[in-house]
Amino acid sequence: MKQEVQVHSLFSDFDISLFKSGKHYRLYERFGAHLIEKDGVKGVYFAVWAPSAKHVSVVGDFNFWLEGDHPLNVRWDGSGIWEGFIPGIEKGTRYKYKIQSNNNDMKLEKADPYALFCEHPPSTASIVWDLDFKWKDKKFLEKRKENNALDKPFSIYEVHLASWRKNMDENRSLTYEEMADELVSYVKELGFTHIELMPIMEYPYDPSWGYQITGYFAPTSRFGNPQEFMALMDAFHNAGIGVILDWVPSHFPEDKHGLGNFDGSNLYEHPDPKKGYHQDWKSLIFNYGRNEVRSFLISNAIFWLDKYHVDGLRVDAVASMLYLDYSREEGDWEPNEFGGRENLDAISFLKDLNTEVYGSFEGVQTIAEESTSFPMVSKPTYIGGLGFGMKWMMGWMHDTLEYFRKDSIYRQYHQNDITFSMTYTFTENFTLPLSHDEVVYGKKSLLGRMPGDEWQRFANLRLLYSYMFTHPGTKLLFMGAEIGQYEEWNFDTSLDWHLLEHDSHKGIKETLIALNHLYKNQPALYEKQFSAEGFEWISYEDSQNSVLSFMRKGENPKDDLIVICNFTPNVLENYTIGINTTGKLKEIFNSDDKKFGGSGIGNKTIAIKKEGFHGRKQSANIKLPPLGTVVFQIL
């Protein structure tokens, strides 16, 4: 039986104007399902954008999912918004929108694009919910601007929540509540400053790892409800750990309940398949030139920063957004109005996104996963950049892993592979990523890439991490890297925690704990991590020994460090480096330390000699451990 849906609106004329112009960045305060009280009666206000709809009604638990019983009213202003207040609906009620399109009268049943909570997949209904929560992270947020700055240590532990650790007794992933205890304490133990969560927005297909999103405003119900996810965020903050979310504005899946063909038209996706369909991922691409879509996406980014106190967004697949010919053959794309391959709408969108994010929240960061040489990705928009805070350094990752795969006897012929990154490392604010993408699809685990016998493989892995943490830039490691996984990552199973029963694997973990401690406690490693002033080669030319030596510098010259990496298993007893200072050298880190599983070859305090070398006035003779990195303070 058709029931009256009361006329009601949360939209002002100004809201509508902003929405149509692509400048409304708080749409979650208007669209969706909102628990309100109207004229003393409690119920839910619904609002959905469906300009090509002939009729829209709400179906759900409250009306036995019968179409037409609760029709919404279309606004008079041409905005395409359908809305209305339905009395008596309570928190926890399941619902969808039943849409009859003007296009061939097709009927569609869609989840709410702005739903705050969704059913556990494979079920697809939206759930009426609220975001009431008593936060306890005020002190953390007050210090975030200082602690999250680009001249502070920034080391990230990347996590796929479903496969980090399983409850083996029940063969299930941990809940948000369990993670607030186990995951938070573990990241704290490792010493990472941040955790990055692979997409936690609701997604239907487990093998997508979360990168095919249908519920952009809802944390996945796989692990609990929104308040339980908020409690996890709160726990991280109270442990002093920042949280970065993977965010996916690049594409979305074709699932029938999702955004695709939402009202029988290409509402969210670009209508031209050359711009609106991703051939590799079999997914739809947002129409970045449509104002309402821009408002939707930027509102979504702001939502997580606002309502969930997120400290940063890592924006996925930026390269696929920037180029019209991305992964397309000739004839499958069309140039922009100036004849170029750049997607001008996407570029404009990304600039607007970063301008709004940094203008609205102090101390947050956006990080671009961008794999090309597109210029000024991490430069401010006011000088022509895209406005990101940081960019993944994919070139460093590729060259470094290729170098480490080579047997040490051949590394002398590939010295340029390990030094080339320094020719461009200060062109952007780079994050050095060893992410989930590098341990899947037959690429092997990081340990599995390392050459040599068992001892050398673990030594190489410690050397890789030590080189990474002393190289300029912020750091990102995918879960499992810290325990030396033998196997590739499997999204469907837990990490191999039993490996920590073995000293060699415990040594990898202890190495990373020590490196995080070193990074956070040595200003020379972070104060100028994005500036050429923070780095100086001592020698990059010793290819015969496969040795690199360099200095890292902070604001105070007294904080300067000397780093030497030996990429062979040969012990070099009296290796000479040039130094432009007097005094002594004190070894403060050695990846060959016995507590890490190394051979224990190291240095006591070393006197600096008044004998020139490497074009410098002084020098020092150092014992270099096999496949090791040593770091010295100058006393």
> Mean per-residue pLDDT for 261-281?
95
Q: End of a domain among 75, 96, 127?
A: 127
Residue 598 lies in a domain: yes
Whether 3 has a pLDDT exceeding 80, the answer reads no
Distance CA 32, CA 45 (A): 8
> Mind listing the pLDDT tens digit for each residue in 602-635?
998 999 999 999 989 999 999 999 999 999 999 9
Over residues 150-178, mean pLDDT: 95
Q: What average pLDDT does this structure show over 27-56?
A: 97
The band of 267, judged by pLDDT with boundaries at 50, 70 and 90, is very high
What pLDDT score was predicted for residue 5?
80
pLDDT of 597 = 97
590-620 b/e (C-beta count within 10 Å ≥ 16 → b): bbbbeebbbbebbbeebebeeeebbeeebbb
Q: What is the DSSP string of 461-485?
A: HHHHHHHHHHSSSEEEEETTGGGT-
Nearest 10 degrees: Cα torsion 589, 595, 596, 597 = 130
256 in Cβ contact with 97 (< 8 Å): no
Q: If we measure between CA atoms, which residue out of 215, 33, 9 comes closest to residue 130?
A: 33
CA distance 359 to 342: 26
pLDDT of residue 254: 96
Kindly state the average pLDDT of the residues 235-243.
98
Asked whether residue 564 is domain-assigned, the answer is yes
Tell which phi-psi region holds residue 480, choosing left (phi > 0), alpha (psi between -120 and 50) or beta: left
Nearest to 482 by CA among 516, 437, 453: 516
| Res. 68 pLDDT band, cuts 50 70 90 | confident
Is residue 65, in this structure, part of any structural domain at all?
Answer: yes
Give the C-alpha separation, 65 to 123, whole Å.
Answer: 14
For the residues 237-253, what does the mean pLDDT come to? 98
- Is residue 13 annotated as a catalytic residue, yes or no? no
| Residues paired with 157 in a beta bridge | 195, 477
Question: Domain boundary at 127, 158, 186, which?
Answer: 127
In SS3 terms, 340-356 reads as CCECHHHHHHHHHHHHH
Residues in the chain: 635
Compute the distance between CA of residue 304 and CA of residue 213 in angstroms, rounded to an integer.
15
- Say what the pLDDT of residue 168 is: 83
- Checking if the pLDDT of 357 tops 80, the result is yes
Cβ(579)–Cβ(572) under 8 Å?
A: no
Selecting among 316, 438, 592, 593, the annotated active-site residue is 316
- Predicted confidence at residue 427, as pLDDT, reads 97
Tell me the C-alpha distance between 243 and 138, whole Å.
15
Region 31-36 average pLDDT = 98
Mean pLDDT of 134-160: 97
Is residue 543 one of the residues assigned to a domain?
Answer: yes
| Nearest-5° Cα angle at 568, 566 to 571 | 75
| pLDDT tens-place string over residues 562-591 | 999 999 999 999 999 999 999 999 999 999
Q: Which of 127, 154, 187 is the last residue of a domain?
A: 127
210 located within any domain: no
Look at residue 104 in the predicted model and tell me its pLDDT. Answer: 85
Summarised one tens digit per residue, pLDDT across range 168-216 is: 888 899 999 999 999 999 999 999 999 999 999 999 999 999 999 999 9
Tokens for 283? 């997914």
Rounded average pLDDT over 160-166? 96
345 assigned to some structural domain: no
Q: What is the pTM of this model?
A: 0.96
By residue range, what is the domain housing residue 44? 13-127
The chain-wide mean pLDDT, for the chain, equals 96
Q: How much is the pLDDT for 59?
A: 97
Compute the radius of gyration of the chain from its Cα atoms. Answer: 27
Task: Examine the pLDDT at 1 and tell me if it is beyond 60.
Answer: no
Position 599 pLDDT exceeds 70? yes
Q: What is the CATH number of the domain that holds 589?
A: 2.60.40.1180
Closest by Cα among 310, 298, 358 to 196: 310
Q: Looking at the domain assignment, is residue 255 inside a domain?
A: no
Does residue 544 fall inside a structural domain? yes
What CATH number corresponds to the domain at position 55? 2.60.40.10
220: nearest Cα among 236, 250, 197, 239: 197
Neighbouring residues of 83: CB distance < 8 A, sequence distance ≥ 6: 8, 9, 10, 11, 45, 46, 47, 48, 72, 73, 75
Whether the Cβ atoms of residue 93 and residue 127 lie closer than 8 Å to each other: yes
Euclidean distance between CA atoms 284 and 97, whole angstroms: 21
316 is catalytic: yes
Per-residue pLDDT at 4 exceeds 80: no
Which residue is catalytic, options 246, 352, 369, 428? 369
* Structural domain count, the chain: 2
- What pLDDT does 105 receive? 85
pLDDT at site 2: 59
